[in-house]
Structure 1
Amino acid sequence: MSKWTAVTPLRKEKHFIVSSAIRPDDDKHPVEQFVLQAVHSGNAQVIHWRELLNEDQWIQGWK
């Protein structure tokens, strides 16, 4: 349930919470995708964990 801030908000969606992890079919593989849910609208999107490392798009925590 980590918190993230979009650097460039779209549709007033700036603050997000990781609401769940998408588990791979094979338990030998690590989790790579997560569901981010916008706090303002409740809209959800699937995101690869590597995208969250892009500081041009995401900041960890709420700013």
Structure 2
Amino acid sequence: MNRFNPRKLALSKWTARAPLNREKHFIVTQLLCDDEGTPLQVEMQAVLTGRSEVFDWQELRDSTRWLLGWK
């Protein structure tokens, strides 16, 4: 389990453990929050292709799929 503060996810760097289409390194480009400021989702952009994807921030806690930082 990756441990981090969800409010500090913006511009953080991540490495996919099982890269698809050579997309291994990602940057969190946007942190999507509700009206109270609670994080809900993140928008991540692949460094190689520039493709963006939005998903729940809790998925980044799964250390079998994601590593914090670029490895």
TM-score, L = length of structure 2: 0.80
The answer on 1:53 being equivalent to 2:61 is: yes
State the partner residue of 1:33: 41
Unaligned 5+ residue runs, structure 1? none
State the partner residue of 2:20: 10
SS in 1 for 2:25: strand
Unaligned 5+ residue runs, structure 2? 1-10
Q: RMSD value over aligned CA atoms?
A: 1.0
SS in 1 for 2:39: coil
Deviation >2 Å, runs of 4+: none
TM-score, L = length of structure 1: 0.90
